[in-house]
Structure 1
Amino acid sequence: MRVISEKITAVRYKGFILLEQHNKTWLVRPERSPMHLLPFRTPICSLLEVKKILDLKLSQKEENIQAA
């Protein structure tokens, strides 16, 4: 039996934790409650692309708040 030890990348960014998954996708979760944005997964991409996706979602959320 082999034990496979893999390094998990975790990055804090703008109040969120970005966790790289084994299949090279990313899980994005808020650091704290209340959650202004629900946790989500990204397609296979780089850390820079994950940050861009999160920034886009945050800007869309801000636009929705201002429109209300």
Structure 2
Amino acid sequence: MGFPMSHEAVVRYRGYLLLPQINQSWLVRPERSPMKLLPFRTPTCSLADVKALLDLRLS
């Protein structure tokens, strides 16, 4: 079992990890607990779209 992507692909943004998936979607997870927002997956979109979606959910 291995990682399908390199560690450089992980993006940190506002206390969350944005992990690109093979199908061009994103997995958004908090870096640490306690969680203000549960982990979630996005539809296929760009990094800018993921950041905008996270900003919207945090506001």
TM-score range, shorter chain: 0.7 to 0.9
Could you say which structure has the larger radius of gyration? Answer: 1
Aligned AA for 1:47?
Answer: L
1:30 correspondence with 2:39: no
Tell me which residue corresponds to 1:43: 43
How many pairs align? 55
Segments of 5+ residues of structure 2 without an aligned counterpart are: none
Give the drift of 1:7: 3.5
Q: Which runs of 5+ in 1 are unaligned?
A: 60-68
Moved over 3 A (4+): 5-8
Q: Structure 1 length normalisation: TM-score?
A: 0.76
Which structure has greater helix proportion?
1
For the aligned residues, what is the CA RMSD? 1.4
CA distance in 1, matches of 2:22, 2:12: 18
TM-score by length of 2: 0.87
Identical aligned pairs, as a percentage?
64
